[in-house]
Amino acid sequence: MAWKLLLRNRIRSTLTVGGVAVAVAVLVSLLAFDTGYQRSLQTDIDRMGYQVLVTAKGCPYEAATLMLKGGGGLRYMDEEVYGRIVEDDRIDEIAPQLVVTDFDPEGGGVTMYVGVDEAQRRLKPWLEFRAGGWFSSPTAEEAVLGYEAAELEQRRVGDRIYVRSIDRALEVVGVLERTGTQDDGAIFVPLATAQRAFGYESKISGIGIRLKDLGQLAAFEEDLYDEPGIQVVSMAQVRGTILNLISSARVLAGSIAVVAVVVAIIGVMNTILMSVFERTKQIGVMKAMGASRFDVFRIVWSETTLVCLLGGVAGAVLAVTGGRLAELLVRRILPYAPSGRLIIVTLPLVAAALVCAVLTGLVAGIYPASRAAELKPVQAIRSTG
């Protein structure tokens, strides 16, 4: 009976269901974003291969973000710092690197070059070659391309890459498999070659460090604070800071979700109340024929719950199908977006959304159902409404 009553005014019912669907879609997307962002950020940090980043004095979190995301603008420090740190027995692996960029005025593009040594492969043992291999020597004028860099440059093993700013050509000796990190867009060259070719003799932009025992992290950082001209950033701090940076966006999105839910509840109550007023005589006849208050209450309450259930299903479908579009919008807004999926809609999340939609219907339907149940049969039948 509740289903038939909804079909009596399909346009109004459809609009009400749509309002609930939007509210549910916003809630599901917000919760899915919270889960997906944290998971992707942690994956990006884990894929860096180290727990501690040493950079030159400046903004530590800006430096760490550039190291995560890739890009130029980093400060540089003397390579002597690496020589002093590398002797620490608590270090499992340590890898210096030099990040520089080359701007092509004709093509308008910026290419990121990363000077690394053999330790980089030990820090990231998951790196695999799609073709070719590693550098032939620490001073060779050769390059290993990330997956996306190779696709963009349209280069294969044996080709040469001309670097305009230094007027040199580097031979491509390897192409990496896709990793889903900033490494995909980088062009790796031997550290000594990058220092010599780009004019950064005895300079590096960062040092990645993995400790033997993570429990020694605090003491290790404390010991490095006395080292002049550098700063120490742990990847755990970076994760927490980046999450704090997007907290304002999460609060704003949460406020929008709350407003959407309140509007949906008001819309449902309005729709069902209008339906009750239109069926006043019908309800009076039902009660005159023996329908109890609970019977009337149950019919109207079921109608409200059905509207919210349909809206919940539609909202879940909208969140799943529109997740990609929402992810593109989020990447344009956020200062740092990890490389993985940002919005992950899971089955438990959808189930929870449907339960919340039904609960919303139960709450929103109490007042209209009570009004209908309290109607007097004689007054209802005589009503002209």
**pLDDT tens digits, one per residue of 72-98:** 456 788 888 888 888 888 998 888 989
pLDDT value, residue 64: 54
Contacts of 198 (CB under 8 A, 6+ apart): 98, 100, 113, 115, 165, 166
Q: Could you tell me the pLDDT band of residue 290, with boundaries at 50, 70 and 90?
A: confident
Residue 108 domain flag: yes
Residue 354 domain flag: yes
Same domain? For 112 and 223 the reply is yes
Q: Is the pLDDT of residue 100 over 80?
A: yes
Q: Is the pLDDT of residue 239 over 70?
A: no
DSSP 171: E
Structural domain of 271: 2-43+246-382
φ, ψ (nearest 5 deg) of residue 106: -80, -50
Q: Which residue has the tokens 């040092």?
A: 207
Same domain? For 219 and 250 the reply is no
pLDDT value, residue 336: 59
Spell 71-106 as b/e; 16+ CB within 10 A means b.
Answer: eeebbbbebebbeebeeeeebebbbbbbbbebeeee
Same domain? For 302 and 332 the reply is yes
Same domain? For 31 and 149 the reply is no
Q: What's the helix, strand, coil split of the chain in %, to 5?
A: 55, 20, 25
Average pLDDT over residues 175-184: 83
**Lowest mean pLDDT across 67-81, 301-315, 365-379:** 67-81
Q: Which residue has the tokens 């509840």?
A: 265
Percent of the chain with pLDDT over 90: 12
Closest CA to 153 of 191, 183, 185: 185
Closest CA to 65 of 203, 235, 208: 235
pLDDT value, residue 131: 93
Average pLDDT over residues 263-270: 81
- The residue type at 331: R
Residue 256 domain flag: yes
pLDDT value, residue 174: 94
How far, in Å, CA of 42 to CA of 215, rounded?
19
- SS3 category, 265: helix
Q: Which residue has the higher pLDDT, 135 or 258?
A: 135
Residue 238 domain flag: no
Total domains in the chain come to 2
Q: How far is CA 114 from the centre of its chain?
A: 26
Same domain? For 38 and 62 the reply is no
* Bridging pattern class, strands 230-234 and 52-56: antiparallel
Residue 144 near residue 134, CB atoms below 8 Å: yes
Same domain? For 215 and 350 the reply is no
pLDDT value, residue 302: 82
Same domain? For 72 and 146 the reply is yes
Last residue of a domain, one of 170, 198, 228: 228
Residue 155 domain flag: yes
Q: Could you tell me the pLDDT band of residue 106, with boundaries at 50, 70 and 90?
A: low
Query: 233: part of which helix (H) or strand (E)?
Result: strand 230-234
Residue 293 near residue 377, CB atoms below 8 Å: no
Residue 241 domain flag: no
pLDDT value, residue 285: 78
Q: Which residue has the tokens 């080359």?
A: 102
Tokens of 375: 């109607």
Which of 10-24, 235-249, 331-345 reaches the highest mean pLDDT?
Answer: 10-24
Same domain? For 371 and 343 the reply is yes
Q: Could you tell me the pLDDT band of residue 190, with boundaries at 50, 70 and 90?
A: very high
Q: How many CA atoms lie within 13 A of 146 on its CB side?
A: 19
Same domain? For 362 and 265 the reply is yes
Q: Is the pLDDT of residue 65 over 60?
A: no
Last residue of a domain, one of 200, 228, 256: 228
How far, in Å, CA of 20 to CA of 70, rounded?
41
Name residue 175's beta-bridge partners.
131, 145
Residue 239 domain flag: no
Q: How far is CA 38 from the centre of its chain?
A: 7
Same domain? For 251 and 279 the reply is yes
Same domain? For 224 and 266 the reply is no
pLDDT value, residue 81: 87
Last residue of a domain, one of 228, 257, 280: 228
* Bridging pattern class, strands 168-176 and 129-132: antiparallel
Same domain? For 335 and 362 the reply is yes
Residue 260 domain flag: yes
Q: Is the pLDDT of residue 46 over 90?
A: no
pLDDT in tens, 142-177: 999 999 889 988 899 999 988 877 888 899 999 999
